[in-house]
């Protein structure tokens, strides 16, 4: 999208405007023939720009051979501002250019015939399964397919994936630990993600090709990491995956299109497009009021004077075509935050770069003198061309939005009039335009984590009563630590060491490290900056380990020990801080037993036990549709003890559970990390 900051933009149109001139207005038609330089013309005018019920009569007054002419209308005999018309033209298209004309001709010759049907979009509402060849992941794929839902899987090994999941599976080959393999086009149409990717752990003594020893989940074997490290999977991999999918799955608070966010202001290239293009005299402008927002923040201001003279009656502001179309298909509509004036306005969204084209339009009423948020669902936008609905227009496609337009008009649709229209001055402060996800919001990203992730650093923990992953966290390269953001107190200690030694100026490399850790308040950075700083932190510590100063080398050794806990923003917290609606499922020990046992859901990371992988797969899929699971973290196990195998009667299997009854009892904000700040409590 084309963006820039400006203090004022006023009255413009576009070269393609001339595509829209035609027989409906003698003024425009005559001007087209006599007054426009041929290089301004993109193509002959195929159809009228604005349909007028009454044709305007005109006469020219010209004492000089010049392109500047005063064109008058009989109604009111008020002059038409040709200069403003040309400014409109210039704003939207720039100076006349032979190259643009040639480019336009080539584009038209190479584009499909207008009679050709518009190509349908690719599949949408796809569920992406990551880690699809793992024990939980392949069961997730199987259940989704049985439900008839569109599925796409991300896997590293194509041969293995197709052998396991079927030759016709929608498969993309990529590695979450390698950002370059996660191409944007892979995630087109993806609306939800189930991430079952995990670190590969296996017995030190070896395992079968099917990983039978690991998968059974009951008998203990001394474990070791077999593939990528926890840091690569739980930190780097999670970061890469979130960055790859967040544009497709959407953000809880929506995507900002225009307005203030995070102490910054996102502006668009707005220009006025008034009834001057059809002979009218209405005039509007758009500017930024730096303190005009509801809380004193900058806000846009659409203002002007509207007149019905010369058969006019509308003013509007329109953006230039975005350099890259906006894909807003992850969302349900657009929300405007504005201060109303009691009038009815229109928001027009276009999905074509052509000027004289259908605009998908929604009208909205405002309340005088009140700041309000107005939600316009995409389903409410109707296809309109020159104030007339177009019954055979293609459906609105929010995946390819090219421009926006705000309008105040005398006209509604199909001959109806705006009941709130009044001639004269008006102003509409608009502080933001952003997308929204309709309520109730459900998870867009379900992550399979692990029970026990908060326990390695928990005070007073009796490790002898904990599962192997907790007891052997350090031996397994901090496998649980990298699933979670923990150890702020350890990080703070590391920070103080850096600050102390940075004052001593002991080593130039150390000073760089101090800049990364000491000057920056790492814990308070947003999640994207945390990712960047963590990588810098690792590089700095590695450099410091080769310091010529003993204290620098000693510090590096200490820092390496503290590094896993210092890496605020890992694993689960990357998801929580990403803005994507999520659910984090923490199963206890995973087994190959069938689903169907009674379950215990809990929060706070306290329970131990076992649960079927099949059951976890079903829970993940159910969570995607439950608002009660949204933004929740929970543990789950079966009531069956480890010593007791669970079986089912295949001829009379148990009914699938209604997981909603479990989700309804979940609470916000409980992760188990809160216990790290409390007094030691045995678990």
Predicted confidence band at 140 (pLDDT cuts at 50, 70, 90)?
very high
CB contact set of 366 (below 8 Å; sequence gap of 6+):
338, 340, 341, 342, 343, 344, 345, 372, 374, 428
In which residue are the tokens 């593939």 written?
227
pLDDT band at 89 (very low <50, low <70, confident <90, very high): low
Name the token pair of 32: 């087209």
**3 state SS of 472:** coil
The one-character DSSP state at 51 is -
Q: Is pLDDT above 70 for 548?
A: no
> Tens digit of pLDDT for each residue in 10-40?
443 333 333 333 333 333 333 333 333 333 3
Higher-confidence position of 588 and 561: 588
- Does residue 80 or residue 286 have the better pLDDT? 286
Q: Of 128-132, 133-137, 166-170, 233-237, give the lowest mean pLDDT range.
A: 233-237
Stretch 517-536: mean pLDDT: 46
Give the three-class secondary structure for 261. Answer: strand
pLDDT grade, residue 98 (50/70/90)? low
The pLDDT score that the predictor gives to residue 297 is 93
CA-atom Rg of the chain in angstroms: 31
Q: What is the pLDDT of residue 650?
A: 86
Task: Look up the pTM and report it.
Answer: 0.72
The answer, yes or no, to whether residue 58 has pLDDT greater than 50, is: no
Residues 121-135 have pLDDT tens digits of 345 789 999 999 999
- Local confidence band at 100 (pLDDT 50, 70, 90 cut-offs): low
Q: Which residues contact 594 (CB under 8 A, 6 or more apart)?
A: 612, 614, 646, 647, 648, 653
Bridge-partner residues for 403, per DSSP?
Answer: 350
CATH number for the domain formed by residue range(s) 258-436: 2.60.120.430
Average pLDDT in the 614-635 region?
Answer: 98
Model pLDDT, residue 397: 94
pLDDT digits (tens, 9 = 90+) for 575-593: 998 999 999 999 998 899 9
Which stretch of DSSP H or E encloses residue 408? strand 403-409
CA distance 61 to 77: 13
Indicate whether 330 pLDDT > 60.
Answer: yes
> With bands split at pLDDT 50, 70 and 90, how would you rate the model's confidence at 308?
very high
Half-sphere exposure of 204 (CA within 13 A, CB side): 7
pLDDT, residue 628, reads 98
Cα 483 to Cα 111: distance, rounded to the nearest angstrom: 50
Q: Out of 51-55, 446-450, 584-588, which region has the weakest mean confidence (pLDDT)?
A: 51-55
Query: For residue 179, what pLDDT is reported?
Result: 95
Which among 396, 258, 398, 379 is positioned nearest to 330, based on CA atoms?
Answer: 398
Average pLDDT over residues 257-268: 89
Domain ranges across the chain: 11-110, 123-249+439-481+593-683, 258-436, 486-568
pLDDT of 345 > 70? The answer is yes
Question: Is 503 strand, coil or helix?
Answer: helix
Lowest mean pLDDT among 18-22, 42-46, 666-670: 18-22
Range scoring the smallest mean pLDDT among 310-319, 337-346, 544-553, 633-642: 544-553
Tokens describing residue 127: 């569920």
Torsion of Cα atoms, 573 then 576 then 579 then 582, to 10°: 130
Residue bearing tokens 């890496």: 567
Q: What is the pLDDT of residue 356?
A: 80
Burial class (CB in 10 A: 0-12, 13-18, 19+), 394: middle
- Indicate the range of 176-185, 264-273, 499-508, 636-645 predicted with least confidence: 499-508
pLDDT for 67 equals 38
Provide the pLDDT confidence category of residue 537 given band limits of 50, 70 and 90. Answer: low
Token digits of residue 231: 């840091």
Does the pLDDT value for residue 90 go beyond 70?
Answer: no
Q: What is the mean pLDDT of residues 558-582?
A: 66
Closest CA to 573 of 673, 646, 426, 661: 673
The answer on pLDDT for 307 being more than 70 is yes
What residues contact residue 655 under an 8 Å CB cut-off, 6+ apart? none
Is 657 a residue whose pLDDT tops 50?
yes
pLDDT of residue 631: 98
Inter-axis angle of helices 571-578 and 527-544, nearest 10 = 150
* Annotation: CATH topology of 123-249+439-481+593-683: Rossmann fold (3.40.50)
Read off the pLDDT of residues 68-85 as tens digits, 9 standing for 90 and up: 334 344 444 455 565 655
Residues 277-293: what's their mean pLDDT? 91
Section 593-605 average pLDDT: 95
pLDDT at 485 over 80: no
The pLDDT, as a whole number, for residue 96 is 61
Beta strands in 15-107 (DSSP E): 58-61, 70-73, 79-80
Extract the tokens encoding 241: 């995956």
Task: Report the first-to-last Cα separation within the chain, whole angstroms.
Answer: 53
Mean pLDDT for the chain overall:
75
Task: Report the DSSP pairing between strands 314-319 and 599-602.
Answer: unpaired
- 3-state SS string over 456-494? CCCCCCCHHHCCHHHHCCCCCCCCCHHHCCCCHHHHHHH
């Amino acid at each position: 999208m084309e963006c820039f900051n400006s203090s004022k933009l006023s009255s413009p149109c576009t070269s393609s405007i001339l595509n829209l001139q035609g027989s409906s207005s003698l003024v425009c038609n005559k001007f087209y023939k006599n007054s426009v330089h041929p290089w301004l013309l993109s193509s002959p005018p195929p159809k009228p720009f604005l349909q007028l019920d009454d044709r305007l009569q005109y006469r020219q007054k010209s004492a000089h051979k010049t392109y500047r002419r005063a064109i008058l209308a009989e109604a009111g005999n008020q002059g038409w501002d040709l200069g403003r018309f040309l400014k409109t033209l210039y704003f939207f298209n720039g100076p006349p250019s032979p190259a643009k004309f040639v480019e336009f001709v080539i584009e038209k010759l190479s584009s499909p015939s207008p009679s050709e049907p518009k190509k349908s979009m690719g599949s949408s509402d796809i569920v992406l399964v990551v880690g699809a060849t793992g024990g939980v992941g392949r069961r997730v794929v199987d259940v989704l397919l049985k439900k008839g839902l569109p599925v796409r899987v991300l896997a590293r090994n194509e041969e293995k994936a197709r052998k396991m999941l079927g030759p016709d599976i929608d498969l993309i080959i990529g590695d979450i630990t390698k950002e370059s393999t996660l191409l944007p086009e892979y995630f087109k149409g993806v609306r939800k993600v189930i991430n079952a990717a995990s670190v590969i752990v296996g017995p030190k003594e070896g395992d079968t090709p099917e990983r039978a020893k690991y998968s059974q989940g009951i008998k203990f074997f001394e474990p070791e990491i077999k593939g990528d490290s926890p840091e690569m999977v739980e930190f780097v991999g999670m970061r890469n995956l979130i960055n790859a999918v967040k544009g497709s799955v959407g953000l809880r608070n929506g995507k900002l299109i225009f307005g203030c966010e995070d102490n910054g202001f996102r502006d668009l290239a707005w220009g006025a497009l008034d009834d001057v293009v059809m002979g009218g005299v209405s005039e509007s402008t758009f500017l930024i009021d730096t303190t005009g927002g509801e809380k004193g923040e900058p806000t846009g201001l659409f203002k002007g004077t509207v007149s019905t003279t010369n058969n006019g009656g509308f003013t509007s502001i329109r953006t230039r075509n975005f350099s890259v179309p906006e894909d807003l298909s992850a969302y349900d509509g657009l929300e405007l935050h504005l201060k109303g004036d009691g009038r009815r306005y229109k928001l027009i969204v276009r999905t074509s770069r052509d000027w004289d084209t259908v605009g998908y339009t929604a009208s909205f009423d405002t309340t005088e003198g009140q700041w309000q948020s107005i939600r316009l669902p995409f389903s409410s936008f109707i296809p309109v061309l020159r104030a007339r609905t177009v019954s055979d227009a293609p459906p609105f496609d929010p995946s390819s939005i090219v421009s926006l337009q705000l309008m105040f008009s005398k006209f509604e649709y199909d001959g109806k009039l705006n009941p709130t229209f009044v001639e004269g001055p008006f102003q509409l402060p608009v502080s933001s335009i952003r997308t929204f996800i309709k309520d109730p919001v459900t998870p867009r990203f379900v992550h399979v984590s692990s029970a026990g992730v908060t326990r390695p650093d928990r005070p007073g923990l009796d490790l002898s009563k904990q599962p192997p992953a907790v007891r052997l966290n350090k031996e397994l390269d901090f496998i649980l630590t990298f699933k979670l953001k923990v150890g702020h107190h350890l990080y703070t200690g590391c920070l103080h060491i850096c600050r102390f030694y940075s004052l001593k100026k002991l080593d130039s490399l150390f000073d760089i490290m101090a800049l990364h850790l000491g000057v920056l308040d790492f814990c308070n950075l947003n999640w994207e900056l945390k990712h960047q700083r963590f990588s810098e932190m690792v590089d700095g510590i590695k450099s410091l380990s080769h310091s010529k100063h003993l204290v620098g080398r000693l510090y590096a050794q200490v820092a390496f020990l503290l590094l896993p806990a210092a890496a605020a923003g890992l694993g689960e917290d990357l998801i929580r801080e990403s803005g994507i609606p999520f659910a984090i499922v923490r199963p206890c020990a995973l087994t190959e037993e069938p689903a169907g046992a009674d379950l215990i859901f809990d929060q706070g990371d306290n329970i131990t036990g076992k649960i079927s992988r099949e059951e976890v797969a079903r829970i993940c899929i159910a969570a995607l549709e439950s608002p009660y699971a949204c933004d929740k973290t929970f543990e789950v196990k079966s009531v069956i003890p480890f010593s007791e195998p669970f079986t089912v009667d295949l001829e009379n299997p148990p009914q699938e559970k209604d997981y909603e009854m479990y989700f309804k009892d979940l609470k916000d904000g409980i992760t188990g990390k809160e216990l790290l700040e409390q007094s030691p409590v045995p678990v």
